[in-house]
Amino acid sequence: MFLPQEIIRRKRDGHALSADDIAAFIAGLTDGSVSEGQAAAFAMAVWFQGMDAGERVALLRAMTGSGTILDWAREGLGGPVLDKHSTGGVGDKVSLLLAPIIAACGGYVPMISGRGLGHTGGTLDKMEAIQGYDAQPDLHRLKTVVRRVGCAIVGATDEIAPADRRLYAIRDVTATVESIHLITASILSKKLAAGLNALVLDVKFGSGAFMEGREAATGLAEMLVRTAGDAGLPTRALLTDMGQVLGHSAGNTLELRECLSVLAGGAAETRLWRVTRALCVELLILSGLATDAVNAGKLVDQAIATGAAADRFARMVAVLGGPPDLIERPDRHLVSAPVVVPVFADRPGIVAGQDVRALGLAVVALGGGRTRPEDRVDPRVGLDQVAPIGAAAGPDQPLCFVHAADRAAADAVVCSVRNAYVIGETADAAADPVAGMIGGS
């Protein structure tokens, strides 16, 4: 007889749960026979007692199997099915570049993405800034787009890991979101359900990251890589620095414009390209599409230089209902904020640091993010031409430009944006934003 309270009691008291216990509990969570109170108690018990490796794999497999698992065997794909996940940051637009690059290199990328919550942005919100784009197609259409184009950046349907959706909503209101055991199952269940052959993870640390400390980020990366591997999904993780806004912009349309420029052959911000290229290289090696880092790097560079990545992105947008000339004519299809205001430092000097979380919260205050899942997002707003660490600041050198719905909204965040910068006489040399790798040889 299935008694959820007995499973909760055993975990509360520090005992390891069997795979059958976990499978029964997740099945009950999915069909509603486990109440919200019981799910909350389970999450809290895991928060305090943790899980061993066997429990984590059992939880991952149960959550993956709570819905549809994509099967690509009948699609006649000519290469491996691949994806990337980021733990989130401010200005993190890597997915918009990585998916078409990997597709141009012979991979197939069903990138099931999420929305922004808190101070970090969401890939799905960026794609929804494209007029007409169907960011949540059904699974049949998702498979068709991936087969025809090589990539699709979309949101999860109700069929993908439904147990995770219910458990996350409960964790969100019970202060258990931060459990790395539950984070691991949440992230990986959606990736295993996508039917992947290989996965790369971008685990961030720094003032704009979900986990600010490098040690905590390393622990999460190690757990993700080990658990994914135990579940049969080859995975590597890069530890990357979120001590600065990634790229020149933060805000949905602004970030989309930045990526379109890079795909069209424009210069990429150095840190953004370093992180994007490194993730692409590892994914190509892990999947067997490249033999080594040198070969993989050449493939990535060629995908941009030849326009092949831009072509994949343009075709993806068009097939999913967006404008076919988005890359050539972004101004025709992307809305702009009516008010743009420069932000200047209180004194001239050099940008010595950024409170990246504060900059992300400024974007949220402008309407470009959410404090609740049901909040609507204004895609137009955000920050652009963000001065990186080491840049000069002065009366003719703004720290950034605020894009707002009106002047009052812009004025309301100018002070907090200014205060998010540390201005000094000098700044430390910029460190490599790729700080380490977990799972590589």
Active-site entry in 11, 115, 143, 190: 190
Say which of 30, 64, 86, 113 is annotated catalytic.
86
Check 143, 166, 191, 257 and give the catalytic one: 191
Q: Where are the beta strands (DSSP E) in 273-431?
A: 339-343, 349-354, 382-384, 392-393, 400-404, 421-424
Amino acid, single-letter form, for residue 366: L
Q: Cβ distance 310 to 263 under 8 Å?
A: yes
Kindly name the residue from 11, 56, 61, 85 that is annotated as catalytic: 85
> Which of the residues 186, 218, 235, 253 is marked catalytic?
186
Q: For residue 179, indicate whether it is catalytic.
A: no
186 is catalytic: yes
Q: How far apart are CA 376 and CA 366, in angstroms?
A: 12
**Does the annotation count 140 as an active-site position?**
no
In 3D, which of 5, 73, 64, 90 has the Cα closest to residue 39? 5
Which residues, in sequence order, are CB contacts of 17 under 8 Å at separation 6+? 7, 10, 11, 25, 51, 55, 58
Active site residue 226: no
CA distance 23 to 142: 28
Q: Tell me the one-letter amino acid at 224.
A: L
* 331 catalytic per annotation: no
The full DSSP string for 97-114 is HHHHHHHHTT-BEEEEE-
- How far is Cα 261 from Cα 93, in angstroms, rounded to an integer? 12
Task: State the Cα–Cα distance between residues 364 and 417, nearest whole angstrom.
Answer: 12
**Which residue in 83, 164, 202, 355 is the catalytic one?**
83
Cβ neighbour number for residue 270 with a 10 Å cutoff: 12
Q: Which of 283, 318, 313, 300 is nearest to 191 (CA)?
A: 283
What is the largest distance, in Å, between two alpha-carbon atoms of the chain? 73
175 CB-near residues (< 8 Å, 6+ apart)? none
Catalytic residue among 166, 171, 277, 312: 171
Catalytic residue check, 333: no
Task: Mark whether 85 is an active-site residue.
Answer: yes
> 415 and 225 in contact (C-beta within 8 Å)?
no
Q: Where are the beta strands (DSSP E) in 302-348?
A: 339-343
Q: Is 204 a catalytic residue?
A: no
Closest by Cα among 1, 78, 13, 18 to 54: 18
Whether 249 is a known active-site residue: answer no
Q: Among residues 87, 123, 179, 249, which one is catalytic?
A: 123
Strand-strand pairing, 151-155 and 109-113: parallel
Which positions are annotated as active-site residues?
A: 83-86, 123, 171, 186, 190-191
